[in-house]
Structure 1
Amino acid sequence: MSGLDDTDRELISLLRDDARMPVATLAKRLRVARGTVQNRLARLERDGVIVGYTVRLKPQVEGHHIRALMLVAVEGNRADEVLRALRGDPAVMALHTTNGRWDIVAELRADSLEAFDRVLSGIRLIDGIAQTETSILLSTHKL
């Protein structure tokens, strides 16, 4: 997020906490005029810094009761191939490439332990995956 000043960062932080916060409230919290907030929002959207607004649900409401992080080591130079295969799996919520021992971190969700077992089994069969390590997320402390 280079090119952003402290007001931009504070505005983004407020929107992360509540994307439906009215412009007047944002202006008051930032101690700037409403027009300033509107202009900054328009610029941040135009420049692609803000790409959308969304709703966050409590994990208990979402219906996917099992959440996990899977660390993936890829054989050789096959990361793009593995990423394409993982993108096609509806249980994969997000993918992150990393450095170090693990090449990819996959965020997984499933409705039950049985479904989660099937997800893990399927992912482990993807060509190009050398090794995985999975940790079930027990609780979330900050959204």
Structure 2
Amino acid sequence: MERSALPLDRLDLALLTALTEHPRAGDLELSRLTKVARATVQSRLRRLQEAGVIADWDPSIDVAAAGFPVQAFVTLEIAQGALDEVSQDLASIPQVLEAYVTTGSFDVLCRVATQSHPELQATLVNIDKSPSVVRSTSVMVLSVLVEPRVLPLLASAEPAPSRRAPAYRKH
């Protein structure tokens, strides 16, 4: 079931910014950083989590630093109606970090990571063994230009009106 978008106000953005900049901060520290009551922080975080804006509390893991420096993006053309099968096949390959259904000249975009070039080759062969994969194309990642990020996007949107009188004051 798809959730409807939650309009974010300035306090939501301030909390998300504080969490991104201080991921180990507790409610009390977030309260100090955003200059709102601890109970307000707790209720807003609960609301953001229930709405799916805060998707998880997992640490961000740098796969290259964890020993998997060889990364590639792989595009797949799949057999008509084989989305469930290819999803299961990709999920069974640990080197597949993520996969997205797309529009355009290919059907699926995957990101894979391995410890070495030979392991990358073996992973690509493994992906191609799926009976659902008609054709695959891969491109190697040489370096990262822009790290994964969300805050600039959130900050670029017009904030929703605050739900109550000044719960958040700019510094």
TM-score, normalised with respect to structure 2: 0.72
Q: Which residue of 1 aligns with 2:45?
A: 41
Counterpart selection for 1:142 from 135, 144, 147: 147
Greater shift after overlay, 116-125 or 29-38? 29-38
Counterpart selection for 1:119 from 104, 117, 123: 123
Gaps of 5+ in 1: none
Distance 2:52 2:67 in 1: 31
Counterpart selection for 2:8 from 5, 12, 18: 5
Q: Which residue of 2 aligns with 1:110?
A: 114
8 Å Cα contact 2:64-2:70 kept in structure 1: no
Post-superposition offset of 1:22: 3.0
| Equivalent residue pairs, number | 143
Post-superposition offset of 1:97: 1.2
Please give the root-mean-square deviation of Cα atoms over the aligned residues, in Å.
Answer: 2.1
Q: Which has the higher contact order (CA 8 A, sep 6+)?
A: 2
Greater shift after overlay, 27-36 or 93-102? 27-36
Alignment deviations for residues 74-113 of structure 1 (CA, whole Å, 9 cap, x no partner): 1212122111111111111111111122211111011110
TM-score, normalised with respect to structure 1: 0.84
Counterpart selection for 1:74 from 70, 74, 78: 78
Post-superposition offset of 1:136: 1.3
Q: Which has the higher helix share?
A: 1
8 Å Cα contact 1:19-1:54 kept in structure 2: no
Q: Give identity over the alignment, percent.
A: 24
Distance 1:127 1:18 in 2: 45
Counterpart selection for 1:52 from 49, 53, 56: 56
8 Å Cα contact 1:69-1:106 kept in structure 2: yes
